[in-house]
Structure 1
Amino acid sequence: MTISGSRGLTRRGLLGAFAATAVTAAPTYTMAAGFLRGAGDVRRLRMHSGRTGESIDILYWIDGKYVRESLKEINYFMRDWRQDSTTSIDTRTIDIMAASHNLLRADEPYLLLSGYRTPQTNAMLRSRSGGVAKQSLHMKGQAADLRMNSKSVTEVARAAAACASGGVGRYSKSNFVHMDCGPIRTWGR
């Protein structure tokens, strides 16, 4: 449950995605919330960062409550490593990532390419690539760029889109999927 190494969202969509991994369907918020209440309700996030060499495998939600210390570890893990700067990662984004991972039924952790970005880092990346938004949700701690070696970009993007809880961008040429908690939308190939 710790980091190792060198150091437009809808509740219905998210709850449905979590419930769908344990139950065949969760057609309404009321039913989904009912499925998630009670014994054994946990949410887990597993990622590795090739940039820092760190890995995280953490339970961040237990029986209906976010675990504050776990969220702090996720914030640090998803920091802007170029500036060594952190922010609070939006729990909606964390939930989208975890729900998508559950839907993929994968043992492999995500490879985190980009989490939080300072405005300076975002501007630098924007000057190098046309695919970086000027007002990127990464700067608000509301987005992540992720990859899985055992799953295709299409598979990861479909799982994220099934959550119906935010933006999902497919970047097949660069082999990653963007997930955010902004308006529900999809783009890319």
Structure 2
Amino acid sequence: MAEKTTGFSRRAILGAFAATAVAAAPTYSNAAGFLRGSGDIRRIRMYSGRTGERIDMVYWIDGNYIKDALKEVNYFMRDWRQDAVKSIDTRTIDIMAASHNLLDISEPYLLLSGYRSPATNSALRNRSRGVAKNSLHMRGQAADLRLATRSVSQMAKAAQSCRAGGVGRYYGSNFVHMDCGDVRTWRG
């Protein structure tokens, strides 16, 4: 099976960094930051077992979201059952990326569920009592993720340390739910 890859081309990423380097050209006022390597970036790495797609991209540089990168994340996290795309809340992406960084790994997340259309959510709800009627997945504000090299407990602790949304531990299904809703935790 051929692997699909979504994301920026090498040229686009280098262009983004070149633009940032020009904007952050060293002056006396920002020389210390430039010498440190400067440039705060946020990166997201995921793959989908359902679609075979992968993303590994910088989506935020020095306080600015990269619009084209977010479009790629939105498409990647789409409801693949309905081929429906919704804007994913950047707060959720940030929680996922921060949690991944705290785990200090290069392994990408396995995305089990991102955006869910109301039809998909209803169908899943009919099959499982663990699916919320008004799920944040339907708003593009939640993701269900798995890592092969980290436990549910380790992933959940990393997400909880962000103190930025909901974290659900699903030990039986081996995944962690992360969302940008109210700060809360639960076991599924």
> TM-score, normalised on structure 2?
0.81
Structure 1 residue 63: Cα displacement: 1.1
The answer for the alignment partner of 1:43 in structure 2 is 42
Higher RCO (CA < 8 A, seq sep 6+): 1
Letter in 2 for 1:62: I
Match status 1:152 vs 2:151: yes
Segments of 4+ moved more than 6 angstroms:
none
CA contact (8 A) 1:147 1:176 kept: yes
Aligned-pair CA distance for 1:6? 7.2
1:91-128 Cα offsets, whole Å, 9 max, x none, are: 00000000000000011000000000000000000000
Checking the alignment, whether the CA contact within 8 Å between 1:6 and 1:52 is kept in structure 2 is no
Indicate the SS of the match to 1:108: coil
Equivalent residue for 1:112?
A: 111
Q: Residue 183 of structure 1: CA displacement?
A: 0.1
CA distance in 2, matches of 1:106, 1:172: 21
Q: Name 2:78's counterpart in structure 1.
A: 79
CA distance in 1, matches of 2:57, 2:125: 32
Contiguous gaps of at least 5 residues in structure 2: 7-32
C-alpha deviation, 1:83, in angstroms: 0.2
Cα offsets for 1:128-183 (capped at 9, x unmatched)? 00000000000000000000000000000000000000000000000000000000
Counterparts in 2 of 1:3-82, with a 5 A limit?
5=4, 39-82=38-81
Residue of structure 2 equivalent to 1:167: 166
What residue identity is the alignment partner of 2:187?
Answer: G
State the distance in 2 between where 1:70 and 1:107 align: 19
Q: Which amino acid aligns with 1:109?
A: P
Higher gyration radius (CA)? 2
CA RMSD of aligned residues (A): 1.6
Please tell me whether the aligned partners of residues 5 and 55 of structure 2 are also in contact (alpha carbons under 8 angstroms): no
Give me the whole-angstrom Cα distance separating, in 2, the residues matched to 1:97 and 1:125: 23
Q: How far apart are the structure 1 equivalents of 2:38 and 2:106?
A: 23
Distance 1:122 1:111 in 2: 19
Partner-residue secondary structure (3-state), 2:163: coil
| Paired residue total | 157
Structure 1 gaps, min length 5: 8-34
Distance 1:53 1:179 in 2: 22
